[in-house]
A and B are shown apart, each in its own frame.
Chain A
């Protein structure tokens, strides 16, 4: 999978030199410009106060971003496991199980994510009592559940769609080659499903990642929460503007590569 991460860049002829090649990448140029600006400010001791403050708050912001990433990864893991299970139920021969799965998907696909986050936070207890054990039930785990439930409904739909999109002729062909049912599912149907599901699954991950910003509303110390605290503490308009721009840039820096990779996978899928 590692080489799938490497973007295929169109070959360019007549490059003046190897050193000049990165200059054609706009993202590299942007980073370089920021670095040059930073060095100039430091060298001439003219760094704006807001930037100095931002630098001061940077470690806290990055810790907050770490929380968002943690929430998104766990919510997606929960959503995937639950979603595959519900998706499998929706393909079951029993009409009762199918209807249950359908109800689950309907309920969670049509619930606003913010409502679900509030719901899990305030309806679930702050600690769980199991016999004499008292296990704390922190808010960030409740947010993982609040984001994981709608994710699971969407994963269930993606999975069901992928399974149903495999033509029945594939089953017939594998049957005529003397495969058992289980083998057909494992070796023929599932691998084709994974390829079909991957782009939508990654899209969902990017959107869940952006939804993790809702965690700040229920008191989880994520990136947005940290930025709000910083902005209130510093209490300067220019700093507030700068820090929210930084937030946008950080979310973009995390989600954009995922979107790029998704597009790359979609194109590759279209080829085969």
Chain B
């Protein structure tokens, strides 16, 4: 089932997203101190690093929720840092999906209404078409049995899967995941990661801010390690997780749970991904 239509990875390396020397400060607190990130079309890029290193801020800059004080952000030819009118931001956000750590579903709307409201009100789709597409997306995240439930009636993992489907409802070219499993109970992490890994397999361009090291290693084409508002190191996951250049990366990976699990015992998430019968059915 491939409902996210994206071109096969092109040979040319014109990135879909590029950040150049991005600086952002909240008052005196410098959060980003010169960030450079490139995301190729169809690529999955993970951003890892300690809390407060500016990972989520990078995602918010890409979709224009925050505006950097310096530097350039380019999303498929659009200079995000120079957008001014509401119409320009809307044009950008139709093409960039965002999934939040705290799901942020609309609590007064049912699951189905959460998915159809933006296609109908923003993209002007006819309701029938929006509903059909929403059901397709709910099936993809395995939430089609809950379409008339309200967010408050769902578990965290279920809410997050609905939130992912909602972010896909406008058929974005790029989707940003902001620590989407950090607020979940451990037993629900697997179901959400499975959905994301399906999307990556479909060839959707994804940027993931995550603390799930094993997952980042498995799905990413490129991994960026950030610390204190700077990119310390970036490269293919095999190198970042296998033999990082920087001592700081090595120290971070030693501290993080995923890397510990790697040397001691099989990671339950990886086991889940491997043996999920639903996933095989798809």
Contacts and interface: CB of A to CB of B under 8 A. Distances in A.
Contacts of A191: 108
B158 to A, nearest CB: 15
A32 interface: no
A216 B123 CA distance: 58
B150 A176 contact: no
B106 A176 contact: no
Contacts of A177: 93, 117-118, 122, 166-167, 169-170
Nearest to B169: A177
B170 A173 contact: no
Contact of A187 (B90, B97, B102, B117): B117
Interface string A17-59: 0000000000000000000000000000000000000000000
B13 interface: no
B107 to A, nearest CB: 6
A195 B109 CA distance: 12
A163 to B, nearest CB: 14
A191 to B, nearest CB: 5
Nearest to B60: A172
Contacts of A178: 89-90, 93-94, 118, 122-123, 170
B107 A192 contact: yes
Interface in A144-193: 167, 169-170, 172-181, 183, 187-188, 191-192
A272 B107 contact: yes
Interface residues of B, number: 29
B100 interface: yes
B122 A176 contact: no
A271 interface: yes
Contact of B93 (A167, A176, A272): A176
A170 B90 CA distance: 16
A109 B203 CA distance: 60
B152 interface: yes
Interface string B192-213: 0000000000000000000000
B87 to A, nearest CB: 9
B28 interface: no
B98 interface: yes
Contact of B152 (A172, A173, A180, A271): A271
A169 B121 contact: no
B65 A176 contact: yes
B187 interface: no
Contacts of B129: none
A176 B172 CA distance: 11
A257 B168 CA distance: 45
B187 to A, nearest CB: 24
Interface in B85-118: 86, 89-90, 93-94, 96-98, 100, 102, 104-108, 117-118
A188 B122 CA distance: 13
Nearest to A193: B108
A272 B150 contact: yes
B63 interface: yes
Contact of B104 (A172, A183, A192): A172
A28 B169 CA distance: 52
Given A271-B152, A272-B108, A272-B150, A176 B121 contact: no
Contacts of B152: 271-272
A221 B152 CA distance: 49
Interface string B30-49: 00000000000000000000
A167 B63 CA distance: 20
Contact of A170 (B104, B122, B150): B104
Contacts of B94: 178
A174 B105 CA distance: 9
Contacts of B102: 169
Given A172-B100, A183-B121, 17 more contacts: A167-B104, A169-B104, A170-B106, A175-B65, A176-B97, A176-B100, A177-B118, A177-B169, A177-B170, A178-B90, A178-B94, A178-B123, A178-B170, A179-B90, A187-B121, A192-B107, A271-B152
Interface of B: 63, 65, 86, 89-90, 93-94, 96-98, 100, 102, 104-108, 117-118, 121-123, 150, 152-153, 166-167, 169-170
16 contacts: A169-B102, A172-B100, A173-B104, A173-B105, A174-B106, A176-B93, A177-B118, A177-B122, A177-B166, A177-B167, A178-B122, A178-B170, A180-B90, A181-B86, A192-B107, A272-B108
4 closest A-B pairs by beta carbon, nearest first, are: A173-B104, A176-B98, A178-B93, A177-B118
